[in-house]
A = this chain, B = another copy of it.
Amino acid sequence: MPREIIFGEITGVQEGHWFEGRKEMMPASFHRNWGAGIDGNGSEGAAAIVLSGGYEDDKDLGDEIIYTGAGGNDANSGKQVADQKWTNRGNAGLLKSMNEGLPVRVIRGYKHKSPFSPTSGYTYAGLYSVVDAWQETGKSGFKICRYRLLYVGDNTERKSAEEVELDLDHNVREKKRVKGTVLRIVRDTKLAHDIKALYNHKCQVCDFAIPTKNGFYSEGAHIKPLGKPHNGDDSLANLICLCPNHHVMFDKGSFSISDNYELLGAESGQLAVHTQHKIDKENLNYHRGSHGYN
């Protein structure tokens, strides 16, 4: 009986935890697939990956990792003999995790070539977000699926993922910071994931779900924003499922929502609200007040 997939931290396994072998990762569902690098699939997402030196194209900069997908390699030699496909079970899983904002546990094995690798066994490197996926021609001449992962765990001794992204060239090579200002940061929470699932990624304003290579993409919008000075909750009563366009418009107050879910401002009609979704009217009131609708 395969154990069910578990996303995020697993009790008893801290960042830096050392495993003697792959087998030890299985009982707690830390990584359930002894033979594969990626634990996951296209319908649920990928929960964990192992970097084990199998792909010469992998890059490991610590808090940023360029990871090569699965498939296309010869079972005996390990050599790339065919193109990798997005439809591969594990590859589709990582795409799903990217679209859904699901955290991926990263494990480094002793065969993986990086300054962070253990000399024997495997170490848990922490939680990462998949922020990009693309295909390119690998050193083998065949197409490989590649993913960019950024560290998003709790360890503040490490740099934050966003800082790494900004500083990467600076720290690693070019001593030059990426210029420019920040327009938007979309962060995803566990509950944002739940609200998106409830609506099958359909925007509650326009009913559009963004199609991707594997499934759909949407964003969980906090009605009363998280963080100071708003201090909104991360709760289903404070979340709605929106497409990026309506998320931008909502956050900027281009439209707001009445207590009976009428759209106000630049949008008209009704917010589609699932019968299981109880929105706290106080949060709607806060949003209206913040953007001049009261």
What is A's interface to B at a CB cutoff of 8 Å? Answer: 59, 66, 86, 98-99, 101-103, 127, 129, 131-137, 143, 146, 150, 152, 154, 156, 159-163, 165-170, 172, 177-190, 192, 208, 210-213, 217, 219, 225-230, 234, 243-245, 247-249, 251-254, 266, 289-292
Contact = CB atoms under 8 A, between A and B. Distances in A.
Contacts of A152: 180-182
Given A132-B251, A187-B183, A213-B252, A208 B245 contact: yes
A141 to B, nearest CB: 14
A174 to B, nearest CB: 9
10 contacts: A131-B182, A134-B290, A136-B289, A154-B177, A160-B167, A180-B188, A181-B188, A210-B249, A212-B249, A244-B244
B180 A192 contact: yes
Copies of the protein in its oligomer: 2
Nearest to A217: B248
B156 A177 contact: yes
Given A101-B180, A183-B186, 9 more contacts: A86-B292, A132-B251, A134-B291, A165-B227, A182-B186, A183-B187, A185-B186, A213-B254, A213-B291
